[in-house]
Copies of this chain bind each other. A is one copy, B any other.
């Protein structure tokens, strides 16, 4: 990495990605909050203040993670939403994908999404914009289902939000009553039955 040359925004982004990847294991072991900027810098093989050239604050590191992940999640959901199936089937498929997504990096997402709730309101809003994109996609599907007559005339945004929120007890249950997949199925059975006409 040459020094005297300015990095393009793209290169900086790539660098952020690299840095985050080098540090992920520390977050997994110690948690984000409990990891100091000194430790993060060391794990990334950087001087402490160099870290600040890539992330303006410590919180920015967490925000970076979520913006990155939510982009991926929404893109994948969009792909499913465009398929040629009943709305409720697509909803199911999206939530299964969502679950897979969460389970894959379960510890990471569990740890970091808990810690994300402690960010300053302004930081939360940035993450929230990403969430909204996802929520609105689900809402679109629910509206479609209502239009098609498959669902009752429920408040589509509220229903979309419920859908997102019921993922938590499925993935993060501290007293699980089955595999996440089983719990998701049961949950969707309840939820989608509740939506039906």
Contact = CB atoms under 8 A, between A and B. Distances in A.
Interface of A: 33, 114-115, 117-118, 128, 132, 154-155, 157-159, 161-162, 164-166, 168-169, 173-175, 177-178, 183, 186-187, 189-196
B118 A33 contact: yes
A173 B114 CA distance: 18
A186 B157 CA distance: 12
Contact of A190 (B128, B169, B194): B194
Contacts of A154: 186, 189-190
Most buried by B among A115, A177, A178: A177
Contacts of A189: 154, 194
A7 to B, nearest CB: 33
Nearest to A167: B165
A111 B174 CA distance: 23
8 contacts: A118-B118, A132-B175, A154-B186, A157-B175, A158-B187, A164-B169, A193-B194, A194-B194
Given A114-B118, A183-B155, A169 B162 contact: yes
B175 A190 contact: no
Given A190-B194, A193-B194, A177 B165 contact: no
A108 to B, nearest CB: 16
A169 B161 contact: yes
Contact of A177 (B155, B168, B186, B195): B155
A158 B183 contact: yes
A158 B162 contact: no
A195 B192 CA distance: 10
Contacts of A118: 33, 114-115, 117-118
Contacts of A174: 128
A51 B73 CA distance: 46
